[in-house]
Amino acid sequence: MSTKLIYFAWVRERIGKPEEDVELPSGIETVADLLRWLKSRGEEYENALQYPDVIRVAINQEHVGHREKIAGAREIALFPPMTGG
Amino acid sequence: MAGAVVPAVRIQREDFDVAAEIASLTKGRADIGAVVTFSGLCRDEQGALSALELEHYPGMAEAEIGRIAAEATDRWPLQGLTVIHRHGKIAPGENIVLVVAASSHRQAAFEAANFLMDYLKSRAPFWKKEHRADGSEGGWVEAKEADDRATDRWKKQGE
């Protein structure tokens, strides 16, 4: 099953695309696993996810922590800390 | 009464009219004793900024602000609540965000508006990019730790 990844702000700019569909390899169970795997996909990902701790994540449009399981996620968004308001 | 209020949440490119938003909450009612409004504006620092560009996560922006607004109506006895957040390019002096909280008494309205703004700052999926007056790229506005601390003070014991 493919998962939609969406990127915002400087995460989007550094990766170079707003979204993509990916086939997650087996063994990717949590948000932290996903970030580690993405980071290994190339220079642009390495650049965007250099400091994974600062990356905020939403699964199906709700904030989650990095230990959250991603099973069943249709849409996972990665973005920097928010600056609205 | 508490919880019966359905907050109005709007994410829009267009500007809003503060007076019209207050009027739409209070019109035809005699039970509201207090209306607190907060408007956030795009601020220039010494003429260096030409605009802020607000990127948002469509769908989640509405959902997340809706969740924050619903928590506010659970925690305070509000009679009306409107939250509007703009996106797109916004020039210095223009409106960015509006919170209107209506209640019988002022304390609930003040606190709910304050709570809403703290949570909007740290949890609503919006990101500001600066455009500089000299035409150069200003970069992304960095999140402030003080905003996270401001949010933490609303956490209940044990959270």
pLDDT value at residue B156:
76
User: Chain A partners of B65 at a C-beta cutoff of 8 Å?
Assistant: none
- Report the distance separating Cα B76 and Cα B59, nearest Å: 26
- Report the distance separating Cα B57 and Cα B124, nearest Å: 9
How far off is chain B from A53, nearest CA to CA, in Å? Answer: 14
Strands A2-7 and A75-79, by their bridges, are: parallel
B146 sits in which H/E element: helix B145-152
Residues A42/A56, Cβ–Cβ less than 8 Å? no
A80 secondary structure, DSSP code: P
Helix ranges (H only) for B7-142 are 18-26, 60-75, 106-123
Domain with A19 in it: 2-79
State whether residue A61 sits within 8 Å of chain B by CB: yes
Token pair for residue B34? Answer: 């207090």
Report the CATH number that the domain containing residue A48 is assigned in CATH: 3.10.20.30
What are the pLDDT tens digits along chain A (85 aa)?
799 999 999 999 999 999 999 999 999 999 999 999 999 999 999 999 999 999 999 999 999 999 999 998 999 999 999 999 9
> Is residue A30 domain-resident?
yes
Question: Does the pLDDT at position B39 exceed 70?
Answer: yes
**Residue B41 neighbours by CB under 8 Å, 6+ apart:** B93, B94, B95, B96
State whether residue A14 sits within 8 Å of chain B by CB: no
> Is residue A13 domain-resident?
yes
According to DSSP, the residues that pair with B132 across neighbouring strands are B49
3-class secondary-structure state, position A13: helix
Q: For residue A37, with 0-12 CB atoms within 10 Å meaning exposed, 13-18 middle and 19 or more buried, which class applies?
A: middle
The model's pLDDT over B48-96, given as tens digits with 9 standing for 90+, comes to 999 999 999 999 999 999 999 999 999 999 999 999 999 999 999 999 9
- Give me the interface pTM, i.e. the ipTM: 0.96
The number of distinct structural domains making up chain A is 1
> Is residue A85 domain-resident?
no
- CATH class as words, domain B8-142: alpha beta
Give me the count of residues in chain A. 85
- Report the distance separating Cα A38 and Cα A48, nearest Å: 10
Token pair for residue B55? Answer: 């990127």
Contact A85 B127 (CB under 8 A): no
pLDDT value at residue B66:
98
Nearest CA in chain A to B125: A82
Nearest CA in chain B to A54: B143
Interface probe with B: pick from A10, A60, A83, most Cβ of B within 10 Å: A83
List chain B domain ranges: 8-142
Residues B35/B109, Cβ–Cβ less than 8 Å? yes
